Structure 1
């Protein structure tokens, strides 16, 4: 597969307005304004826009007119149209958005892998489990006690929207007083469903 990095020009808007032509010297002729954007692409995928520019030509004499040569009244009309269409088309950011998503997925996979190498079967008192709640938030719970395959845990009363820096929630004042019981089977089911985001080994932090 050949990968081509380059720049393309896209006509994003065309409009007409009336004004005095400095070329053919006629008054109230129709001008056509064409607004373009240049964008960088990788093969056929647009990455990001790089600049805006435009062309003006007189429909009577077909001459292309420089913006600087227009009378002030015509410049104001061009400025008003260009201002309304100043935003780059969203699709010109497609490649950048895809790259950003790939980077985020890579970072998440790296984060999860780097924090979940410790097997659930080896969880012990003081360990902290970083997890996704059933309603899509992220939090932690701390292992208080283990009896066989049953764990007594304290659940963090605070949640956040992302899985990044979840360990920052692991402070004693964030945990409630009510103990909950989880089995190893429960934890394995959470891991199979992708809800275990990481495990932090602890030095038996006290409350």
Structure 2
């Protein structure tokens, strides 16, 4: 496999993995706070216009109830993260060009992407804990729907979402470092 083919494969796989991550992430967070979706995310992504459900709230305090809210959370997760996966894939793919062969580039870049994803998830979990320990007691100056019932869960999920984006950035940096170190290790090992 040459490097161009490896790069194309990375650019195809990265947004798919990013979308899958978003689906799993949002299934977890929907379990913690369905209101985060019915009173915020479903509205933000305009899911009431997709024919999947309806607004059972008011014009000023909407609440979008879907026939299949888990499917709606999956749509939100995919739309919110596929493009992050693409950006990470582009950056890690371009960094991956430093490797000697396309096969090594592909293997190392995929590992770097998975490392980035793991760090993103871990950071999101830390954000959930941070939200529980600190933000529920001192409510942040965020958009909080007036018709919200469970403020704490909503805030915890919001914190997890925000930390996850931060985790993506931290993970990307660590993924780049991993890829560069792998190239240096191979160069030292094989004198390349």
Same fold flag (TM > 0.5): no
Bigger proportion of residues as helix? 2
Higher relative CO (CA 8 A, sep ≥ 6), structure 1 or 2?
2
Query: Which structure is larger by alpha-carbon Rg, 1 or 2?
Result: 1
